[in-house]
Amino acid sequence: MASKCLSPVPILPVLSRSSRTSLQCLRKRPMQALSHAAAQPQRRHVSVYGYEQAKALSFANYGDPPEVLFLHKHSISPPHGELMTLRFLASPINPADINQIQGVYPSKPTFTTSLGTAHPIAVAGNEGVAEIIALGDKVKNEGFKRGDWVIMKGPGFGTWRTHASATSKDVLLLEDAAREGITPIQAGTVSINPCTAYRMLSDFVKLEEGEWFIQNGANSGVGRAAIQLAKNWGLKSVNVIRGREDKDEEEELKKGLLDIGADVVITDEELQSQGIKDMAEEWTNGGREPIRLALNCVNGKPATAMAKLLAPHSHHVTYGAMSKQPLTIPASMLIFKDIHFHGFWVSKWAEWHPQEKKKTVEHVLELTRRGEFKDMPFEELEWEYETKEKDLVQAVQGTLEGYRKGKGVFVFKKT
């Protein structure tokens, strides 16, 4: 397939990669993703006194989403002082959102009666982008204005809702320049998966151009982001996916990841096969280009098998547990190979490094604008004011089942 260098000027990653001087261009390929939701003005349900009619997918108790989620309707009074009213544009359904509803995620949502219920409820969802539709004087003085786009500063705000009342402490402003040419879905999905991939590639070991990393869950949002960032920075990747019963589908999936910049794509079965060491030698020029970083969101055998391919003194970062299996580490890897095992949680990182989060988000959006960071495949779940509770809950459930074609994202239309 034809290659085309899209960007003559490298955009350097923030923090540890500032010394890079050259980048490998990405091949321009047909987009993997579905259509973008353009930012379009929407009719709003506003009462005569300026009260905003809002709907929120909420839960009062922890449990499985279909059992505990309900659509709560309430109104939001006109904002004053330090308050702003947000209208959501796009909010993804991430695995952590589900874990949070189930009560098994370390960051807990805020249960409150402030939305007009007798008993405390929490609004589901942690990531998203919203537009400021009204704001009090104090927020104006802080530099916000109507029409600004904001993303959530941290987890637990509740983003699966049409509208919300917030303060500047809850949100991060996307400056006009950062948002230019960016769709709501791109802005609404930038702060968790791409940031996670970005930080894990940057902060544990300084990989030099031409060096390798290996990852499982390569078809996930984080995995796809890691492939593209690595390619942009001149790094090489071995990518492990779950095999498919349908081999044509598996080949298509492999090709899709190669198209966005993966160097090698294998299934977890291939990773655990006998010949894997020889294969790895072949990819890495007889081992002269060491694999020095592993990114793991699966655990179980695929995580241990990846660790076995690492060069001595390498780093192995765990950031998820999709297989629900424990991580098992042979002692020899610590004693004789000095492999360093780490964990990473983007929520904690963002809390500790708010300015770096802003820079990381802006950098990914810049790469997106320049065509060097493609969207992951999405399934747009349209949310109108009239959309029924059962359809929204069904959409959440649907994203949990089987081998999905793309990440579910609520795209708010006429709300």
Catalytic residues: 105
Rounded least distance, CB 407 to ligand NAP, Å: 5
**409 contacts ligand NAP (rule: CB under 6 A):** no
The Cα–Cα gap between 235 and 293 comes to: 11
- Interacting span for ligand NAP (CB under 6 A) from 46-54, 137-145, 319-327, 328-336: 319-327
Name 92's bridge partners.
409
**125 contacts ligand NAP (rule: CB under 6 A):** no
**255 contacts ligand NAP (rule: CB under 6 A):** no
The Cα–Cα gap between 186 and 31 comes to: 14
Site map (CB under 6 A) of ligand NAP, residues 352-391, x = contact? ----------------------------------------
**344 contacts ligand NAP (rule: CB under 6 A):** yes
Contact with ligand NAP (CB under 6 A) among 192, 214, 310, 392: 192
Contact of 191 with 359, CB cutoff 8 Å: no
Contact with ligand NAP (CB under 6 A) among 219, 232, 239, 284: 219
**96 contacts ligand NAP (rule: CB under 6 A):** yes
Is residue 43 classed exposed, middle or buried when 0-12, 13-18 and 19+ CB atoms within 10 A define those classes? exposed
**34 contacts ligand NAP (rule: CB under 6 A):** no
- Residue labelled with tokens 């809702």: 161
Q: Give the residue closest to ligand NAP by C-beta.
A: 320
**346 contacts ligand NAP (rule: CB under 6 A):** yes
Buried b (16+ CB within 10 A) or exposed e, 155-173: bbbbbbbbbbbbebebbbb
Residue among 41, 92, 100 nearest 65 (CA): 100
Rounded least distance, CB 138 to ligand NAP, Å: 32
Q: What are the CA-CA distances from residue 220 to residues 7, 65, 386 (Å)?
A: 26, 21, 31
Listing DSSP states for 106-169 in one string gives SSPPPPBSTTT-SS-BEE-----EEEEEEE-HHHHHTT--TT-EEEESSS-S--SBSEEEE-GG
Buried b (16+ CB within 10 A) or exposed e, 54-87: bbbbbbeebeebeebbebbebebeebeebbbbbb
**317 contacts ligand NAP (rule: CB under 6 A):** no
**392 contacts ligand NAP (rule: CB under 6 A):** no
Contact with ligand NAP (CB under 6 A) among 162, 186, 220, 237: 220
- Interacting span for ligand NAP (CB under 6 A) from 145-153, 189-197, 229-237, 326-334: 189-197
Task: Give 236 or 242: the residue with its C-beta nearer to ligand NAP.
Answer: 242
**56 contacts ligand NAP (rule: CB under 6 A):** no
Contact with ligand NAP (CB under 6 A) among 190, 238, 260, 298: 298
**222 contacts ligand NAP (rule: CB under 6 A):** yes
Please say whether the dihedral angle defined by the alpha carbons of residues 345, 346, 347 and 352, taken in this order, is positive or negative.
positive
Contact of 404 with 377, CB cutoff 8 Å: no
Contact with ligand NAP (CB under 6 A) among 242, 292, 358, 413: 242
**157 contacts ligand NAP (rule: CB under 6 A):** no
The Cα–Cα gap between 230 and 342 comes to: 20
Both tokens of 130, joined, read: 């919203």
**198 contacts ligand NAP (rule: CB under 6 A):** no
Task: Give 135 or 303: the residue with its C-beta nearer to ligand NAP.
Answer: 303
Residues of this chain that bind ligand NAP (CB under 6 A): 94-96, 192-193, 196, 217, 219-222, 241-242, 297-298, 319-320, 322-323, 344-346, 403-404, 407
